[in-house]
Structure 1
Amino acid sequence: MWLVDNLFNLISGLGTAKDKTVGNVHVFVPRPLPEIQAAYRGNWIARKVVDVVAFDMLREWRAWKAEDAQVEAIEAAETALGVRQKLLDGLRMARRDGGAALLIGDGASDPAQPLVPERLGKGSIRYLHVLGREEITPGEPDRDPASPWFGEPVSWQLVSATRGQQAIHPSRVVRLIGAPILESVQSATERGWGDSVLQAVFEAVDQATSSAAYVNAMLPEAKQDVISVPGLSQHLSTEEGTRRLTDRFAYAARMKSMFGMLLLEGDGKSPDGEVFEQKQISFAGLPDVVRLFLLIAAGAADIPATRLLGQSPSGLNATGDSDTRNYYDHVAARQKVELTPAIRRLDELLIRHALGARPPEVWYEWNPLYQPTQKEKADAFKTVADAVAVLAKAKLAPLEILAQGTKGAAVDSGLFPGIDAAYEEHGDAPLTEGELDADQFGPDGQPAEGFTGTGNVVPLRGRVAGGQQVADAAPRTLYVSRKLLNGADLLAWAKSQGFTDLYPAGELHVTIAYSRQPVDWMAVGPTWQGAELKVEAGGPRLVERFGDVVVLLFSSSELRWRWQEIRDAGAAWDHPDYQPHVSFALSADGVDLDQVQPYNGPLVFGPEIFEPITENWRARLAEDSLGGGPNATLPFRDAYNPNQRRDARGRWTSGLEPLPIRLKRKHHPRIQQL
């Protein structure tokens, strides 16, 4: 007899009688239900295989699509009936035992009679119960092709200790299946139920569990004391010799336990005396073997190891993100393909129970399992906002349509709590009511002083004035900074480290942009961080010298992102990279920077300050010195003025003018950059 579609190799024996795999035969060995239930209760891997998928399918639940009042009524009905928790219990039971059922009751009609959805009024469902496959028994399947219940049991039998057997009409039962049985004959033997999901993974679960157990059993044997005794056989040949030998080493063990010493005959090395040595078992490679069996169990359960075992991914640059997303896609597919059809009967009855009718426009969708972080949401919304701005600037779409799209994106993003209610209150009306007069705006296009608009929102820059579009502001040089609001904390730390030439607390700041190249300030736009930016305590901090000035270097992704955003708007930058820092001392006299412990507390910065760059700072210094007044102080040193001297009060003076000069940051290019 010839075998078709098989591979033979007479030299190696592949496919011949010499091949050990030729005798492999798959034989189905059904696990009895008590064993399956015992494994679920006593084996942590088996329990997670059953629970994880069921829990993840319902974890984020679903979102009903209807009017707000209808959604609230349906969700209230789900809560009152405990639909989510009872469906979770049913899925767990179905995955463990192969099947379970949800019993729907109206409390009024005979359970043996059909529960007609069209006759169901508001508040008609009285209970929803979860039943195991041993509690409710399906009858013979309906084989009438014209019957609406074709393929379902003609009736179900509910066994009760007080009422005996109770017939239940199939319209009142939602059947949940564990692992479906595709063969109709085999399925009939299980009376329409399926297999337990543990049936196919039992071997992998047992191997993973036993591998860890075997390693655990080796731990007591990891270290053994071995003593070589000359003439051991002679001592054991008689009862007296055996007793004396036993007493001898019992006493030696007590000495070792009490005093930490072992008494031996001889020097412990020569063959003539007793020789002591320790044998240690090597566990190298065993953790990898145990991990391999756990990964096999995870693969057999079709659950990523990061989810089943709760362990971090291993390997270079491994994040486990792709495995998690693939798993979530798999669960989402099962929600749509398996769970939604299985509970469709319950959903139809639930809608009528909550609303009293069945509006055709009511439907739902499963919420996504992967929930993005706030940063991911913000980045996605920024991408949408940038795209809208490009379309608006290029006039590729009407502004009204873009406004509606932006409204939907803002509401769906979840970044702005209450914005949907605000949109509903404001409606589609324009930001202002009626025509705007030209005198309502100043020459820069901003609302004139005292004008707050006639609508719900103060007019924004760039809106129409007198029927004409306000032109963009003329480009100019740009210097952007944020004042350090808790500068006193930083200066207190600096004094504790021995620094003396300190900046005033009001001068401490971080530079974000310094562009001699003219920039349209309006194109830069406002920052997302608002009026306050807090850099949390900790993280990388360094103290270094920039020229004579001492600075605190720190890390801030928000500041770096904002710097890049301003660069993208057309600003120049004279340095190869951007490093956030705060200049706090004009010199490090008497301080060893290598011994300084950097400031590790929080840094709280105020709102962004936009200023033009003042190149003629020397002329402005002269004006300030001649004018005196509040600018006539110079509390710190000008690194570019070699004529400076300290006065009697220890303050720095110019060395040229009779009056001391206050060096303002905006007049000094070097200080601006620092």
Structure 2
Amino acid sequence: MGNVIAMARDSLMSFVSRLGTERDKAATVFYTQPILTDEQIVAAYRGSWLPRKIIDIPALDSCRKWRDWQADDKVIELIEKEEKRLNVKGKVLEASKKGRLFGGAAVYIGTGDSDPSQSLDVDHIEQGGIKHLTVLTRRQLKAGTIDRDPESEWFNRPEKYYLTGLNGKQLTIHPSRLVLFNGAMTPDDDISGATQGWGESILTATLDAIKNADSTAGNIASLIFEAKIDIIKIPGFTENIGNKVYEDAILSRYTLANTIKGINGTLLLDAEEEYESKSAQLAGLTDILMAFMQIVSGAADIPVTRLLGQSPAGMNATGTSDMKNYHDRVQSIQELELTPAMARLDECIIRSATGTRDEAIYYEWAPLEQMSEKERADIFKTKSDAARALIGSSSGQEIITREALSDALVNTFTEDGSLPGLDSFIDEYGKLSEQEPSEAEIIAAATQTRR
């Protein structure tokens, strides 16, 4: 007797209800590889507001508050002036939008080098060395051969990019000269398929949900036109419908009747005619539409309050939790996507602005959530009270020296903007450690010493 091999499935099955078997209708559902052409992507973005908002909102929020440079005031002024000259914020926003839309975009760092196919030497960027920044999409930039050297900085990424310019001339660009925005990640590393070394459009995974919501809204809009239907039963209508004179008389007759009804609300009919009015049931349509919008919101990972621009619904609903989670997501985009992508560009900007590279220069992304004046005042009071507690009520009770605590508070209040202009006043009047001790402080210190 031969061996019998039993096949086991790690899933729930029921032969009685056909659940999980080949007769189960749900068993016929499977996923296929979604493919969106550039024409479909452009049509969706231009023709429907939902795809446009899904593409634009996270990119806009990532750049909206921008970033705060941390350095000497004069250095910060130079860097911000250089960013303004190059329109860095606008270029990054544009590239981020187009990267999300097409699955790939880049900001080309133009330094005036004669051979852009060579690696960009950041250390040799002089003051004013960046001439321009240019946004290019994957439709303009063709990715070259993939680098397969695991020791290379560009491993598993294109070694070169090719741009077709005027008169069909092809320009070869080294990836170090590009700030790349690859849209959604391709999980299968489809470097030889449709993505061609880029990512894929954000709309790829969300378009079905968007189309369902748009279709539902369109059907509801059509239903509004059929919300009320007048029905008039005319004796002998079917027998005479082929008579042209009869048809014209009927149209003229009820056009007049409808006009009279529109003027004074009275409908004039023959005694043998019957009239009734039917209204479509519209209750619950809003809930159905909002259910589809919730699905779109989940697919796009954008709160409904932000996607639709509406106030939170329900008792005691503030939307604070949703927006906090969304702001955390935007912060993740800034720190995990924008910061690494812009690292080389930032090094160039610092050198182009100052002519050198001070390692003490860095930046932080500005928070999206803005505090009210009352919240700022409460935080300022809390910090001040904590400082008084650390310093003690009299000399000799300090946990931290007055001078150290003073310098720390000056730094804190300068960074959070609690006391505008504090830096300049400190430069004018000096730090606490530079001040002459007062007579009361000398007496208190002497008294403490005798004890």
Given residue 373 of structure 1, which amino acid in structure 2 is its aligned partner? S
Partner of 1:326: 325
Shift, 1:430, TM fit: 6.5
Shift, 1:12, TM fit: 2.9
Partner of 1:461: none
Given residue 86 of structure 1, which amino acid in structure 2 is its aligned partner? K
Question: Structure 1 residues 238 and 42, CA, compared in 2 at 3 Å: closer, same or farther?
Answer: closer
Higher alpha-carbon deviation: 349-358 or 287-296: 349-358
Could you list the per-position Cα deviations for residues 563-598 of structure 1 after superposition, in whole angstroms to 9, with x for gaps in the alignment? xxxxxxxxxxxxxxxxxxxxxxxxxxxxxxxxxxxx
SS in 1 for 2:390: helix
Partner of 2:303: 304
Distance 2:261 2:355 in 1: 84
Are 1:166 and 2:171 counterparts?
yes
Are 1:28 and 2:33 counterparts?
yes
Counting matched residue pairs gives 436
Query: Matches of residues 338-417 of structure 1 in structure 2 within 5 Å?
Result: 338-393=337-392, 395=397, 397=399, 398-417=401-420
Query: Matches of residues 11-410 of structure 1 in structure 2 within 5 Å?
Result: 11-162=16-167, 164-185=169-190, 189-236=194-241, 245-257=250-262, 260-266=265-271, 273-393=272-392, 395=397, 397=399, 398-410=401-413
Given residue 35 of structure 1, which amino acid in structure 2 is its aligned partner? Q
Query: Matches of residues 484-499 of structure 1 in structure 2 within 5 Å?
Result: none
Shift, 1:401, TM fit: 3.3
Asked whether the equivalents of residues 381 and 409 of structure 1 are also in contact (C-alpha less than 8 Å), the reply is no
Unmatched tracts of structure 2, length 5 or more: 1-5, 446-451
SS in 2 for 1:284: coil
Asked whether the equivalents of residues 190 and 196 of structure 2 are also in contact (C-alpha less than 8 Å), the reply is no
Given residue 321 of structure 2, which amino acid in structure 1 is its aligned partner? S
Higher helix share: 2
Partner of 2:429: 426
Query: Matches of residues 547-562 of structure 1 in structure 2 within 5 Å?
Result: none
Higher strand share: 1
Question: Structure 1 residues 232 and 183, CA, compared in 2 at 3 Å: closer, same or farther?
Answer: same
Question: Structure 1 residues 347 and 435, CA, compared in 2 at 3 Å: closer, same or farther?
Answer: closer
Given residue 194 of structure 1, which amino acid in structure 2 is its aligned partner? G
**CA RMSD in angstroms, aligned pairs only:** 2.4
Given residue 164 of structure 1, which amino acid in structure 2 is its aligned partner? K
Asked whether the equivalents of residues 102 and 129 of structure 1 are also in contact (C-alpha less than 8 Å), the reply is yes
Shift, 1:61, TM fit: 0.9
SS in 2 for 1:102: strand
Partner of 2:443: 467
SS in 2 for 1:467: helix
Distance 1:369 1:187 in 2: 39
SS in 1 for 2:179: strand
Query: Matches of residues 624-639 of structure 1 in structure 2 within 5 Å?
Result: none
Asked whether the equivalents of residues 191 and 197 of structure 2 are also in contact (C-alpha less than 8 Å), the reply is no
Distance 1:67 1:465 in 2: 33
Question: Structure 1 residues 160 and 241, CA, compared in 2 at 3 Å: closer, same or farther?
Answer: closer
Shift, 1:199, TM fit: 0.8
Higher relative contact order (CA 8 A, sep 6+): 2
Could you list the per-position Cα deviations for residues 132-171 of structure 1 after superposition, in whole angstroms to 9, with x for gaps in the alignment? 1111212112223444443333322110123611122222
Given residue 376 of structure 1, which amino acid in structure 2 is its aligned partner? E
Shift, 1:353, TM fit: 1.6
Distance 2:366 2:42 in 1: 31
Question: Structure 1 residues 69 and 295, CA, compared in 2 at 3 Å: closer, same or farther?
Answer: same
Shift, 1:413, TM fit: 3.5
Q: TM-score, normalised by structure 2?
A: 0.89
Asked whether the equivalents of residues 187 and 193 of structure 1 are also in contact (C-alpha less than 8 Å), the reply is no
Distance 1:466 1:33 in 2: 78
SS in 2 for 1:261: coil
SS in 2 for 1:314: coil
Fraction of identical pairs, as percent: 39
Query: Matches of residues 601-616 of structure 1 in structure 2 within 5 Å?
Result: none
Q: Which consecutive aligned stretches of 4+ in structure 1 deviate over 6 angstroms post-superposition?
A: 237-240
Unmatched tracts of structure 1, length 5 or more: 267-272, 437-463, 470-674
Shift, 1:52, TM fit: 0.5
SS in 1 for 2:277: strand
Asked whether the equivalents of residues 403 and 432 of structure 2 are also in contact (C-alpha less than 8 Å), the reply is no
Structure of higher CA gyration radius: 1
Shift, 1:257, TM fit: 4.2
Distance 2:279 2:96 in 1: 49
Shift, 1:312, TM fit: 0.6
